[in-house]
């Protein structure tokens, strides 16, 4: 794969994308009327995400990416890109969705959650409108062609905040034969989810951050709304994988792990891939209270516990080279996709989603 982008998690772009000449794009406005809102008297209600902010004239919503200038709602971040990279789809993580392909991935600013452990806090906790670069949907497609990418991914910060941009981009990407993905906390409204699906959203990796109490306390959100969207997305036909960043003392008790595993089995199906990933100290869990990285043994314990409850595909993330990065056949237990980090070492399901050892049909793979 030839890439003009540098290696690394993410390329933060202010003041410039490294390796990409975006100078002809400079100066374009990223303000646009928002897609989903309604008016109640003098107040505008944003219907982009489940916070449903009530915004008075001249004010901003909770995430500071939506503004009511004069009785209407505007997004301030249409095409306002803070970060970009060409990532293996495994990095999202998606392990059963077009393995081995690359997605051109972008993010903007801010978040609608308040997680104090955010691993991308440099862009999610700040809103530097105008310090990013504007990339139009058309230019994004051109960039994908140049980079030999197979799809789009809106990620790094909460992609729901790029709703209007994602919709325009996804429609264009579909026309050009690309797939579209979201890496999200799953807190969009149902109307937003439907609009994304209609525009061509193919896959979502949704964070399940813990139990109801934890999500309320640390993220300022209602967990049931996340589950509702995960279920609805799957019902619509969107590919769904789940991720939980396992944080010592926060969401790593036996009951926490069991509760998530149970809900996945009961509400989404035991074939749903669940990525249990290693947390590293960041943001307030680095500076205010120090919570050390998740011990690998704890992650192994959680993966094994979830598997013992009947989940077929549980993966251990952020520990490159770990055996639980591989996909094993749920019947004969042979390794079918071997990985190292985000790299595919061997893929025995490349030609057909069928176990070559015991002939089990793997129904939950997009290959």
Q: Considering the rule CB under 5 A, would residue 60 count as an interface residue with Zn ion?
A: no
Determine contact, residues 187/160, Cβ cutoff 8 Å. yes
Q: Considering the rule CB under 5 A, would residue 357 count as an interface residue with Zn ion?
A: yes
Separation of alpha carbons 365 and 367, rounded Å: 6
Query: Considering CB distances under 5 to 8 angstroms, the limit depending on partner class, which of ligand SF4, Zn ion, none binds residue 131?
Result: none
Query: Considering CB distances under 5 to 8 angstroms, the limit depending on partner class, which of ligand SF4, Zn ion, none binds residue 329?
Result: Zn ion
Q: Which two tokens stand for residue 311?
A: 């989940």
Query: Considering CB distances under 5 to 8 angstroms, the limit depending on partner class, which of ligand SF4, Zn ion, none binds residue 53?
Result: ligand SF4
Determine contact, residues 246/277, Cβ cutoff 8 Å. yes
Angle at 328 between CA 326 and CA 331, to 5 degrees: 175
Give Cα separations from 328 to 25, 91, 219, 228, 239 (angstroms): 46, 19, 34, 29, 20
Query: Considering CB distances under 5 to 8 angstroms, the limit depending on partner class, which of Zn ion, ligand SF4, none binds residue 360?
Result: Zn ion
* CB of 106 vs ligand SF4, minimal distance in Å: 18
Stretch that binds Zn ion, among 2-10, 95-103, 151-159, 349-357 (CB under 5 A): 349-357
Q: Considering the rule CB under 5 A, would residue 355 count as an interface residue with Zn ion?
A: yes
Choose between 342 and 357: whose C-beta lies nearer to Zn ion: 357
Determine contact, residues 144/152, Cβ cutoff 8 Å. yes
* CB of 356 vs Zn ion, minimal distance in Å: 8
* CB of 367 vs ligand SF4, minimal distance in Å: 35
Query: Considering CB distances under 5 to 8 angstroms, the limit depending on partner class, which of Zn ion, ligand SF4, none binds residue 51?
Result: ligand SF4
The residue of the chain with the least Cβ separation from ligand SF4 equals 61
Separation of alpha carbons 118 and 296, rounded Å: 20
Query: Considering CB distances under 5 to 8 angstroms, the limit depending on partner class, which of Zn ion, ligand SF4, none binds residue 332?
Result: Zn ion
Task: Point out which residues bind ligand SF4 (CB under 6 A).
Answer: 46, 48-49, 51-53, 61-63, 65-66, 112, 161
CA 146 distance to own-chain centroid: 24
Q: Considering the rule CB under 5 A, would residue 345 count as an interface residue with Zn ion?
A: no
| Adjacency order of strands within the sheet including 66-67 | 32-33, 74-75, 66-67
Beta bridge partners of residue 83, listed in sequence order: 12, 107
Choose between 54 and 333: whose C-beta lies nearer to Zn ion: 333
Separation of alpha carbons 129 and 317, rounded Å: 32
Q: Which of 64, 84, 82 is nearest to 74 (CA)?
A: 64
* CB of 223 vs ligand SF4, minimal distance in Å: 16
Among 4, 190, 289, 358, binds Zn ion (CB under 5 A): 358
Q: Considering the rule CB under 5 A, would residue 352 count as an interface residue with Zn ion?
A: no
* CB of 333 vs Zn ion, minimal distance in Å: 7
Q: Considering the rule CB under 5 A, would residue 329 count as an interface residue with Zn ion?
A: yes
Q: What is 224-249 written as a DSSP string?
A: HHHHHHHHHHHHHT-EEEEEEEE-TT
Determine contact, residues 278/318, Cβ cutoff 8 Å. yes
Stretch that binds Zn ion, among 174-182, 283-291, 311-319, 354-362 (CB under 5 A): 354-362
Please work out the total of residues on this chain that contact Zn ion, with binding judged by CB under 5 A.
7
Determine contact, residues 193/229, Cβ cutoff 8 Å. yes
Q: Considering the rule CB under 5 A, would residue 331 count as an interface residue with Zn ion?
A: yes
Contacts to Zn ion by CB under 5 A: 329, 331-332, 355, 357-358, 360
């Amino acid at each position: 794969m030839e890439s003009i982008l540098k290696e690394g998690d993410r390329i933060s772009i202010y003041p410039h994308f490294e390796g990409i000449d975006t100078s002809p794009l400079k100066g374009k406005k990223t303000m646009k009327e928002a897609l989903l809102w309604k008016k109640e008297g003098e107040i505008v209600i944003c219907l982009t995400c489940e916070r449903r902010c009530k915004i008075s004239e001249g004010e901003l919503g909770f995430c500071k990416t939506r503004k009511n200038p004069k009785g209407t709602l505007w997004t301030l971040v249409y095409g306002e890109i803070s970060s970009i990279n060409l990532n293996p789809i495994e990095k999202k993580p998606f392990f059963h969705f077009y393995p081995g392909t690359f997605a051109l991935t972008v993010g903007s600013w801010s978040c609608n959650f308040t997680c104090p452990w955010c691993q991308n806090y440099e862009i999610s906790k700040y809103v530097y409108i105008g310090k990013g670069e504007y990339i139009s949907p058309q230019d994004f497609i051109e960039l994908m062609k140049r980079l030999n990418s197979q799809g789009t991914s809106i990620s790094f910060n909460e992609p729901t905040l790029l709703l209007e941009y994602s919709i325009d981009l996804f429609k264009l990407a579909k026309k050009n034969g690309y797939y579209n993905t979201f890496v999200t906390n799953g807190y969009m409204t149902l109307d937003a989810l439907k609009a994304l699906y209609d525009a061509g959203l193919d896959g979502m990796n949704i964070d399940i951050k813990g139990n109801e109490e934890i999500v309320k306390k640390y993220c300022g959100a209602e967990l049931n709304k996340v589950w509702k969207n995960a279920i609805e997305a799957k019902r619509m036909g969107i590919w769904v994988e789940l991720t939980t960043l396992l944080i010592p003392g926060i969401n790593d008790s036996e009951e926490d792990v069991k509760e998530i595993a149970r809900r996945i089995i009961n509400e989404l199906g035991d074939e749903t891939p669940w990525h249990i990933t290693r947390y590293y100290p960041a943001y307030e869990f680095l500076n205010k209270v120090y919570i050390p990285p998740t011990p690998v043994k704890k992650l192994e314990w959680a993966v094994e516990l979830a598997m013992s409850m009947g989940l077929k595909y549980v993966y251990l993330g952020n520990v490159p080279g770990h055996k639980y990065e591989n996909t094993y056949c749920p019947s004969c237990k042979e390794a079918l996709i071997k990985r190292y980090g985000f790299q595919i070492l061997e893929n025995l399901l490349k030609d057909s989603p069928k176990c070559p050892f015991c002939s089990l049909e793997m129904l939950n793979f997009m290959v």
